[in-house]
Chain A
Amino acid sequence: MTETTHLAAKVLLLDPDPQQCQALADFCAALGLMPLVRTPGEALATLEQHQDLAGLLMSEELLGEGAGGLAWAQAIHRQRPELPIFLRRTSARTLSQAELDLVQHQWSSSDMEQLRASVDRTIFSLRYPVTLVQGIVDLTCSALQSMFPNAQVRSQSPYVVHDRIIHGEVSTLIAIESTWCRGYMMLQTEEGALRQGMLAGLSFEGVGGELSFRDLNNMLGETTNLIWGAFKNRYIPPQAFANQQTQVPIVINHAHKYISFGSTDPQLCIRYELSDPTRAELAPLVIVQRFIFNLHWSPEQFAEFSASASQSGPTGELDLF
C-alpha cells in the first residue's frame, strides 16, 4: 500500500469556553490542524484575511444566543459555504432545520473520537502519496529556480484547503492527465508582487519587457508550463501518452478581467439576451458564450464530419433501436 502523507489544514476555531478552546487547540495540533483561535466578533474579518481555510470549529453556545446567534452563523456560512462547520454540542436540544442546514458535523466534547473521524472524513478526504507530494515540491522548486535564477526559492509545508477563493489577481490553469489522475494545476499570485520581484531582478536580466500585465501573465504562464512539463515527464507513464493531448497554460488576470488561452486567434463569440416579455422596461440578462479553438482547428475535417454525420433527431424523445 502507498504511504500517504499527513498534511496540515487551517481551521477557524470559535469557542467562548476557554477550557474547551484550549482542549480543541491541543486536539488540532495532534491532528495536524492549524487553528486560528478567534472571538465571534473577529470571525468575519478573519475569513476575509485567510482565504485558504479547510473548515470551522464552533461551539453551540454561539448559536444559542437567540436569533442573533443564528444570523451570525448564517452570515459566516453565506460568506464561505465551502467550509465545513463542525459544531460542538453543549446541550441535548434538537437543532432547528435552519441550524442543521449550517452544520456539517456535530460532536460532543465527551467524544473527541467522533470529531477526529469527521475531520478525517471531511477535511482530509483525499490522501496524497508522500513521494508524490515531495516530488511535486521538488520539481516546482526546480522550475521556479530556473525561471527566477536570482531568487532564493523555499517551499512551506504542503496543506489542504477547502476554500475556493483565488489568491491574488494572476492565475494560470493547466490540465493534468495521467493514468492515475485527471484534473488541473493552478498557480496564483499577486500582480504587484510579481512585478516587484521582476523589478528587483529575481528573473533574467532584460526579460519581462515593460512589465505590463501581459508580460507578467506570460512569466507565470511559462513557469506553469515548466512545472507541467516536469510533472508530465515524471508522473505520466508512457502508456498514457497514447491519449495525451497538447496543453498550454490558460492565464487569467482578474484585476484586468483578462484571460488568455495562449493563442492570438479570434474567439467565436455569441451573446444571448434573456428578457421578460411582459416587462419590456427591464434590462435583459446578457449571457456571453465564447468558443476558443486554441489547440486544434481544422474546418476541413469538420466539413467531412458534418457531411457524414446524420442529423440528430428531436431531443427529449425515446429513440428505440
Chain B
Amino acid sequence: MAHVLIVDDSSTMREIVSSYLSKNGFEVALANDGRDGLEQLRKDPSIRLVLSDVNMPNMDGLTMAEKIRGELANKSVHIVMLTTEDNPAMRERGRAIGVTGWVVKPFRGEAVLGPFKKLCGL
C-alpha cells in the first residue's frame, strides 16, 4: 500500500482527498500546513507521495517543497501541488524547486487516481 501525505489547511479538503484515496488503495497521513507536513515527512520514511496545497498559513506548500528538496534531499518522494493556483510563474517556481506535478482544484479523484498510482509504482 502506497503512503500519501496530504497537506492542506482546509480540514474539508483533507477529508475529501483522504476519503477518496483511502478507498482506492492508498494509506493516508494528514498535515494541516507546510510546517506540519515537513515534520511528518521527517519522521515517516514510508511516504512516497506528498499532495500539497500552496496557500496555507505558517508555511506555504512551495516553501515546504523547497525544504523537502533541500533539507530532505535524500528522500525519494514525489511532490504534487493540489491548489486553486494556476499562475504560470508559480508553476515555474514549482518546477524549478523539483515539484513533480501540479493539479488545479477542484479535486477530481477519477482524473488523478491513475497518475498517482503510477507515481507510487502501483
Q: Please, how many angstroms separate the alpha-carbon atoms of A247 and B56 in the complex?
A: 8
Which one of B42-50, B72-80, B82-90 is at the A interface?
B82-90
Q: Name the one of B13, B16, B55 contacting A246, with C-beta atoms under 8 angstroms.
A: B55
Q: Does A263 contact B (CB under 8 A)?
A: yes
Q: How far is the CB of B1 from chain A (nearest CB, A)?
A: 19
Interface residues on B, range: 20 to 34
Residue in B13, B33, B57, B85 whose CB lies within 8 Å of A261: B57
Residues 47-61 of B, flagged 1 when their CB comes within 8 A of A and 0 if not, give 000000011111010
Chain A min CB distance to B52 (Å): 14
A295 at interface by CB-CB < 8 Å? yes
How many angstroms between the C-alpha atoms of A254 and B54 in the bound complex? 29
Q: Is B19 an interface residue (CB 8 A)?
A: yes
Main secondary structure of the interface of B (DSSP, over half): loop
Among the 9-residue stretches A112-120, A158-166, A225-233, the one with 4 or more Cβ atoms under 8 Å from chain B is: A225-233
Of B15, B56, B84, B108, which is within 8 A of A206 by CB? B15
Given contacts A143-B106, A263-B57, A233 and B12 within 8 Å (CB-CB) = no
- Rounded to whole angstroms, the CA-CA distance of A206 and B60 in the bound complex is 27
The stretch of A18-26, A76-84, A215-223 in contact with B is A215-223
Query: 23 A-B residue contacts at CB 8 Å?
Result: A146-B106, A146-B108, A147-B106, A205-B19, A207-B19, A208-B15, A215-B12, A218-B10, A221-B10, A222-B12, A225-B84, A225-B105, A229-B83, A233-B87, A244-B87, A246-B56, A262-B9, A263-B33, A264-B32, A265-B57, A294-B57, A294-B58, A295-B57
Given contacts A207-B12, A263-B57, 13 further A-B contacts (CB under 8 A): A146-B106, A146-B107, A147-B12, A222-B13, A225-B105, A226-B105, A229-B85, A229-B86, A230-B84, A246-B56, A262-B56, A264-B32, A265-B57
